[in-house]
Structure 1
Amino acid sequence: MSPIRFRRSLCAAGLLALHIAGAVAEDSNTSPDEIVLQNGSRILGTVTATRDGVVTVETEFAGTLSIAQDKIASMRTQTPVVMKLEDGTVVEDQPIVVADSELVLPATLVTQSYPLADLAVMNPEPWELGQGYRWKGLVSAALTIEDGNTDTEEFDYRVESVWRSLRDRFTTKLNGEVDEANGVKNAENWNATAKYDYFLEDPTWYTGLTAAAESDKFADLDLRYYIGPYLGHQFYEEPVLTLSAEVGAVYVNEDFIVADDKEYPGANWTVNASSNILGGDSRLYLDHNGILNLDDAGDLIMNTTFGLAFPLMFSIEAAAEVLLEYDSGLPPEVEKLDQTYRFRIGYTW
């Protein structure tokens, strides 16, 4: 073979090799992620999230699927991701590889494997990596206007905001109600709460400080305020059940419009719970708090809210609520139990 023909053949072989390599690389880049379930089912798509024991995958044939991690036998993603494990370990720029229900991670000398349940979050938010705070909140209102034999105007409002980092949490709440019937005001009350939580070495435990104030003109309460420390525990923190409780001590000061003012040391407690057990992104929730007068065991305050919230569109949320407010220390002519039923619409972020 002449040198010229040899060089042409070598060049052609090189171009063919580059073409094959490019085709392989392109095929690798466009290959879908793969999940194989315990029952042998195979799912192809793009894994978009892993959180709270659930893997979310976008598919062409069935849209978005949510798969429980304990149903997965093997999984492989094509794109490197950031993984955060339950013990706080962060693994960067690695694809997710699962074999025999074990998360496989490369180490310096040997490959390490962990139970798949140890994979807490894929591509965690900055606050979950110790960078800044996550901000969540709610602004909602309920307005009722009736014209006819009885002219009624009712306006309820609610504002909540939570800033959360790995180490601490700030919470503020404001609720209020103003009602009129035939031009005469028959309800005017509000309450505001500010809390600071500091998470301990075991992050399911935290300590904090709460400060609150409230007023209810039609319950003879001009102003009640209290402040004090507490200890809290996060029993569960999963979508199917979130449950926390707090117990502490407070200093309480009450100014009444007619009745005698008073101040006293109190024991306070709080229980908060929510669940998505009904599905469809709906949320059942319970918020309860109470204060016991340590100078008079017959003086008890308990406020409880039961609710069902569900999304409407975008970030608009609707909720139906029942509020039970009990105060045994009110003057005798004032009802001790106040019940409120309301439907509200608000914006969440």
Structure 2
Amino acid sequence: MSNLSHRLIVLFSLLLPVPSLGGEITLKNGDIIHGELDSINEKQVIWKSDIFGLVKIPKHEVHEFSSSATMPLVTREKETVTNCSLRMDGVVTGHCDGGEQTSLPLMTLIVAEPPKTFTGDIRFGFNRKDGNTDTEDLDFIVNTQWLHDKFRQEVDLSAESEKTDGNVVDEHYETNYQLNYDFTERWFSYGRLGYTKDRFSAIDEQYQLGGGLGRRIILGNQMKLNLQLGAAVLVSHYNESGSETDLAGRWGMRMDWPIPGTDMTVFHENELLWAMSDVNNNQAESSTGIKIPLLGNLFSEFRYDFDYVNQPSDGHKRADEE
């Protein structure tokens, strides 16, 4: 190995420190994995390893474990006990806020981490080409979610810019804020604010204010669906014909499907807006792809985006694909 390669590996290791976790799990073949318990489902113990990240271990391969991570535990009486740290030595024992839970059989035990109050993704893409034609293409997307009791706040930000030979040929900015209220486990209501700016569309700027109902569905193959239907007031500023206010219907959908046996996730999301006064006046956006974990919280993404505007500006097509 060259000195340069060695230095790069050392530098990469320094930039990505691995925290040391205090628990350990012992398998029936004698292997010991240090880390902490992440969750237990019907068939597997999910272990958060110091080195390997999340490791999925079949229950019948586990000999014993100890973990200081705390999580809710469902007792035999179907009651939920909070802040339980678990230890297994033949059977599982839980040290919980409500007292010690003893003689818990691993094969029927299911525990999970409490839902995270803040989650989010940041996606960044940059492409540059120099030669007969000089191009620069920049994409930046942020999706965040805050959870507090029955309220969920979601913020989405995106920016796209493309230059060819120093001239801007594509520029699009969008931000959305949505407040959800979960009035049952599956049903929720929402209010939504949005702003879009596109220099190369007939609609230069657009403001959106609306609300509606939504439903979450989890299928047997672990596919998760988030369906939304509502109405919105659209205030649109056109490049050539001034401003216009419309009442529009809104449809939104998000699908996430963890591929069995892998850590990859297939996703699809779309949004459709149509003016109540003219259903042919509509806008649609969709994004379909696969998310692939790399290292720690880093991931790569292969994605196909499709945007449709029924009223494009002169010289532009109705559909945009990327």
The answer to whether TM tops 0.5 is: yes
User: What's the secondary structure of 1:119's corresponding residue?
Assistant: coil
Tell whether the 8 Å contact from 2:125 to 2:138 is kept in structure 1 after alignment.
yes
Q: How many Å separate the matches in 1 of 2:147 and 2:221?
A: 17
Identify if the C-alpha distance between structure 1 residues 312 and 81 changes in structure 2 by more than 3 Å, giving closer, same or farther: closer
Stretch of structure 1 that moved more, 315-324 or 81-90: 81-90
The amino acid across from 2:141 in the alignment is R
> 5 Å matches for 1:262-273?
262-273=244-255
Question: 1:233-285 deviations in whole A, cap 9, x for unaligned?
Answer: 11128994222111111111111101453211111111111223065432221
Quote the residue 1:163 is aligned against.
146
Tell whether the 8 Å contact from 1:291 to 1:302 is kept in structure 2 after alignment.
yes
Stretch of structure 1 that moved more, 177-186 or 136-145: 136-145
Q: Which runs of 5+ in 1 are unaligned?
A: 1-31, 341-349
Quote the residue 2:302 is aligned against.
320
Tell whether the 8 Å contact from 1:169 to 1:198 is kept in structure 2 after alignment.
yes
Tell whether the 8 Å contact from 1:83 to 1:119 is kept in structure 2 after alignment.
no
User: What's the secondary structure of 2:200's corresponding residue?
Assistant: helix
The amino acid across from 1:335 in the alignment is K
Q: Confirm whether residue 84 of structure 1 aligns to residue 72 of structure 2.
A: yes
Quote the residue 1:299 is aligned against.
281
What is the CA-CA distance between 1:325 and the residue it aligns to?
0.4
Q: Which has the higher helix share?
A: 1
Q: How many Å separate the matches in 1 of 2:48 and 2:249?
A: 50
Aligned with 1:177 (options 160, 168, 174): 160
Q: Confirm whether residue 219 of structure 1 aligns to residue 210 of structure 2.
A: no
| Count of matched residue pairs | 290
TM-score where L is the length of structure 2: 0.73
Quote the residue 1:56 is aligned against.
46
Question: 1:55-76 deviations in whole A, cap 9, x for unaligned?
Answer: 12589xx9975145xx659986
Quote the residue 1:276 is aligned against.
258
Quote the residue 1:245 is aligned against.
227
Q: How many Å separate the matches in 1 of 2:239 and 2:292?
A: 39
Quote the residue 1:345 is aligned against.
none
Quote the residue 1:152 is aligned against.
135
Q: How many Å separate the matches in 2 of 1:77 and 1:313?
A: 25
Tell whether the 8 Å contact from 1:223 to 1:256 is kept in structure 2 after alignment.
yes
**Fraction of identical pairs, as percent:** 16
Q: How many Å separate the matches in 2 of 1:33 and 1:327?
A: 55
Q: How many Å separate the matches in 2 of 1:84 and 1:324?
A: 41
TM-score where L is the length of structure 1: 0.68
The amino acid across from 2:286 in the alignment is T
The amino acid across from 2:142 in the alignment is V
What is the CA-CA distance between 1:175 and the residue it aligns to?
0.9
Quote the residue 2:10 is aligned against.
none
Cα RMSD between the aligned structures? 3.9
Identify if the C-alpha distance between structure 1 residues 93 and 105 changes in structure 2 by more than 3 Å, giving closer, same or farther: closer
What is the CA-CA distance between 1:92 and the residue it aligns to?
5.0
What is the CA-CA distance between 1:203 and the residue it aligns to?
2.0
Q: After TM superposition, which residue ranges in structure 1, 4 or more long, deviate above 3 angstroms?
A: 32-36, 41-48, 62-65, 71-83, 85-88, 91-100, 103-108, 110-118, 237-240, 329-334
Aligned with 1:66 (options 41, 50, 56): 56
Higher relative contact order (CA 8 A, sep 6+): 1
Quote the residue 1:119 is aligned against.
110
What is the CA-CA distance between 1:311 and the residue it aligns to?
2.8
Quote the residue 1:344 is aligned against.
none
Identify if the C-alpha distance between structure 1 residues 335 and 259 changes in structure 2 by more than 3 Å, giving closer, same or farther: farther
Q: How many Å separate the matches in 1 of 2:286 and 2:53?
A: 40
Q: Confirm whether residue 208 of structure 1 aligns to residue 190 of structure 2.
A: yes
Q: Which runs of 5+ in 2 are unaligned?
A: 1-23
What is the CA-CA distance between 1:221 and the residue it aligns to?
1.9
Q: How many Å separate the matches in 1 of 2:212 and 2:108?
A: 32
